[in-house]
Structure 1
Amino acid sequence: MHVAIVEDDINMRKSLEIALGEYEEFKISTYKSALDALKKIDNSIDLIVTDINMPGMDGIEFIKKLDGKYDVIVITGNATLSRAIESVRLGVKDFLTKPFEIETLVEAIKRHDKIRTKVKDSIDQNKGIKEDASDFIGTSPALDKALLMARKAAKTDVSVLLLGESGVGKELFANYVHKNSPRAKHAFVALNMAAIPENLLESELFGYEKGAFTDATSEKKGYFEVANGGTLFLDEIGEMPMILQAKLLRVIQERVMVRVGGTKEIPIDVRIVSATNADIQKSIQEGRFREDLYYRLNTIPIEIPPLRERKEEIIPICDVILERVIQKYGLQKRYFSEEAIESLMCYRWPGNIRELISVVERAVILSDAQAISKEDLFLESRKSFQ
């Protein structure tokens, strides 16, 4: 992939050139100014990384001159919401604030390289768009901070507790920890505590032996055994009944489990990632959650910020959802109007990414015009429920 770096600061320019040059899949070209880049860049360039504040011609004017011919990542030390909105209006997909980890930029570049393939491959005619549709397509300082902690946690084998509002993408984060861990080649298994009746939850977790109850005509492995060697994601952990909390604590401490109706101890090697949007401390005070289990699960807590604190991600996510819906339903090409973009950026998104996907999917389908308008989003009517 041929990446052009446009940066007037020679130290920053050289640092990026050296750091990115260590990746064999990248070919790097550097330019000291926007004017220099406009004279020399050609069709061999796949992606441009540019600063905003540069002498002669700033990054915004430079992007306008490019006229949409290249994918662009903006890096700047003076990020403002107005600059972010102006950038996304011009088609910029990522907006990074200095200082940033080089890994963050590398991930952003790789996303651009894969995004078109990802859009095509992700379309399933038999399924709707899932909450993980964003797949970290956008980036923001708040997201970068959480991802950095997730990468550090992934290298270890300790328990991780994901905290955050409903719809922020906790399962996606859990999968990210798994994929970046030594357990990546083994199973990632997810279980939503709130989705399974209390009387069935124990057998789902630990499995059961033949004859354990009336309908147990054969033995069955539970989620722990299926995830053995890999990662078990326990979503909505705050909904787990107290009696099962004691059994889970024993499994974590002793690394053995017993199936329902059995007596044999089965060795278990599972990395546990759990998540909740509930106030666990309040549940502990009210006697609904074991404090000792909380400390076992909370070795590394990761707070996933809500979408309203990750505004730089909104438009990149919207663009991917838009393309997926267009391809899935065979619709004519659509794009977001400037008013729609501003509305998307200013809305508070109480339902986070899950709500964003729903809003955009509906707007793309119902819009009668090529330009999706502010009215097509129906965000004004939603504000009364915030």
Structure 2
Amino acid sequence: MIDAKILVIDDNKSMLSALEILLQFEYKHVVTLNNPKQIPSYPGFSDIDIVLLDMNFSAGVNSGNEGLFWLNQIKEKAPYISVIMMTAYGSIDLAVKAIKNGAVDFILKPWSNERMLATVRSAYQLRKSQKQVIQLQKKEHNLKQVINQHNHAIIGQSEAIKNALKLTRKVAQTDVNVLVTGENGTGKELIAREIHRCSQRSNEIFIGVDMGSISETLFESELFGHSKGAFTDAKEERIGKFEAADGGTLFLDEIGNLSLKMQTKLLSAIQNRTIVRVGSNKPVPVDIRLICATNCDLEKMVSDGLFREDLMYRINTIHVDVPPLRKRGEDILVLCQYFLEKFMHKYGKPGLRINQSSEEKLLKYKWPGNVRELQHTMERAVILSEGNVLKPSDFFLNSAAISSFDSFPGSLEEMEALMIENTLKKCDGNYTLAAERLGISRQTLYNKIKKIRD
């Protein structure tokens, strides 16, 4: 027995009885109505799977217009119900009209039982498929909502951050490619998510990719996907990040870490808005909003032959520069209070506050790791606190970074290299700990050290 609900509507009671007897041996729920005017008030109408609807209900009328009228009423009330039209006065034109108006099939009276059962089975399979599609659409919508919930507010009232946010929200209304630049830990991903949130794609998915963590051998598979059997471990077909972000936003972080070979492959996908999976030669069109981010000076990399000029112009239609924390003034204290409340709640330490001496120390510090470093500093202070007041001694700041910024006359790259070297020394060569203190991933740290040593 198939667990489906079938409603038969016909003014001929003998027809109703015949269909009820025929269908009840195959379907659990078969209900009959002899008047279509009961349709608007019928309880639980949207739960019905199939309607068998006669096309003529008035004596002497055989145009089929009554049936078409009630078909439209049913489709308005429950658009996904499978409706089969029945009539003793059939014509090709009438059948075409019924199908155009949303019926799934058209059957003539008198019918053969085999034909009727086959038609109802087909209508049920269609209804079942539609239910599955609706369920998958709901799951997809819920999944997108869960993924897009990872969208923290950008906190701050300084002119520097206000200007960055003003440009961010302005450019969000367009679909142009955006390049977000800024030092490590300034919140480049938050800016990218803000662009997505304020865009017409906000109900679609946001996919972020750390380009610095993708090896050259896996680059194409990660971004463009692969076909089954494309290489040794390709046991099944897999879509890449471009396809996953179709209709939404693709955020490529640390784009300055790509090799020239990977840059060439990326440029082709961006220009053509199509990708080809590894192991396939079939182009797949993709509709994405592209946002890239880097802490590198791409113009200098172009002049040094390390970054393709055509790729830089392709990703840099609009440039948003995120200000470093040391240029955001009182935002430092606003962020301190935000993180203090967050970690008080997380670690069950209510009533903590920062005294004035601590505030002065935090304002004086240059914050080379920016907001990410401030977050880690506040978390450590809350965890290790012993009283209700956080004193200057509760904040462990990188003294090497202070002296570097106060007196070092070199370039930003040289300053970054010195910071990495000093942090590694303080961590006794522990790359994982050093990466955590610098507020970057372990792979990014490896890449930066390789670049420094090369």
TM-score tier after normalising by the smaller chain length: 0.5 to 0.7
Offset, 1:306? 0.3
Instruction: State which of 192, 199, 205 in structure 2 corresponds to 1:181.
Output: 199
Query: Which residue of 367, 372, 383 corresponds with 2:390?
Result: 372
**Is 1:230 the equivalent of 2:248?**
yes
Q: Deviations over 1:36-92 (max 9, x none)?
A: xxxxxxxxxxxxxxxxxxxxxxxxxxxxxxxxxxxxxxxxxxxxxxxxxxxxxxxxx
Distance 1:254 1:352 in 2: 37
For 1:195-237, what per-residue CA distance to the aligned partner results, in whole angstroms no more than 9, with x for missing partners? 1222112110001010110000101010000000111000011
Amino-acid identity (%):
49
What is the CA distance between 1:380 and its match in structure 2? 7.0
Q: What is the alpha-carbon distance in structure 2 between the residues aligned to residue 380 and residue 243 of structure 1?
A: 37
Preserved CA contact (<8 Å) 1:256 1:265 = yes
Aligned equivalents of 1:292, 1:149: Cα separation in 2: 24
User: Which one-letter code corresponds to 2:267 in the other structure?
Assistant: L
8 Å Cα contact 1:257-1:268 kept in structure 2: yes
1:348 Cα deviation from its structure 2 partner: 1.1
Query: Per-residue deviation at 1:385?
Result: 5.4
Match of 1:169 in 2: 187
Aligned with residue 244 of structure 1, among 238, 245, 262: 262
Describe the SS at the equivalent of 2:180. Answer: strand
CA distance in 2, matches of 1:255, 1:175: 21
Describe the SS at the equivalent of 2:169: helix
Give distance in 1, aligned partners of 2:398 and 2:372: 18
Superposition deviation, residue 318 in structure 1: 1.1
Query: Is the deviation greater in 249-258 or in 301-310?
Result: 249-258
One-letter amino acid of the structure 1 residue matched with residue 173 of structure 2: K
Aligned-partner SS, 2:190: helix
**Correspondent of 2:212 among 194, 197, 204:** 194
Tell me what 1:160 maps to. Answer: 178
How do 1:1-386 and structure 2 match up within 5 A?
135-379=153-397, 381=399, 383-384=402-403, 386=405
Cα distance, 1:166 vs structure 2 = 0.7
Q: 1:324 to 1:206 in 2, by over 3 A?
A: same
Does structure 2 retain, via aligned residues, the 8 Å contact 1:132–1:169?
no
CA shift for structure 1 position 175: 0.4
8 A Cα contact 2:255 2:294, kept in partner: yes
| Structure 1: distance between partners of 2:219 and 2:398 | 41
Displaced runs of 4+ in structure 1, greater than 4 A?
none
Residue 343 of structure 1: how far off its partner (Å)? 1.3
Match of 1:32 in 2: none
Any idea what the Cα deviations from partners look like across 1:83-109, whole Å, max 9, x if unmatched?
Answer: xxxxxxxxxxxxxxxxxxxxxxxxxxx
Distance in 1 between the 2:362 and 2:208 partners?
31
Residue 190 (structure 1) shift? 0.4
Question: C-alpha distance in 1, partners of 2:399/2:311?
Answer: 42
Where structure 1 has 5 or more consecutive residues not aligned to the other structure, the ranges are: 1-130
RMSD: 1.6
Does the C-alpha gap of structure 1 residues 282 and 294 become closer, same or farther in structure 2, counting only changes over 3 Å? same
Letter of the aligned partner of 1:235 in structure 2?
A: D
State the match for 1:14 in structure 2.
none
Q: TM-score, structure 2 length as denominator?
A: 0.54
Change (3 A) 1:385 1:330: farther
Residues 145-186 of structure 1 show CA distances to partners (whole Å, capped at 9, x for unaligned) of: 011111111111110001111110000100000100001111
Deviations 1:310-332 (A, max 9, x none): 12211121112111211111124
RCO higher in structure (CA 8 A, sep ≥6): 1
Return the letter of the residue paired with 1:272.
L
Aligned residues: 255
Could you state the TM-score of these two structures normalised by the residue count of structure 1?
A: 0.64
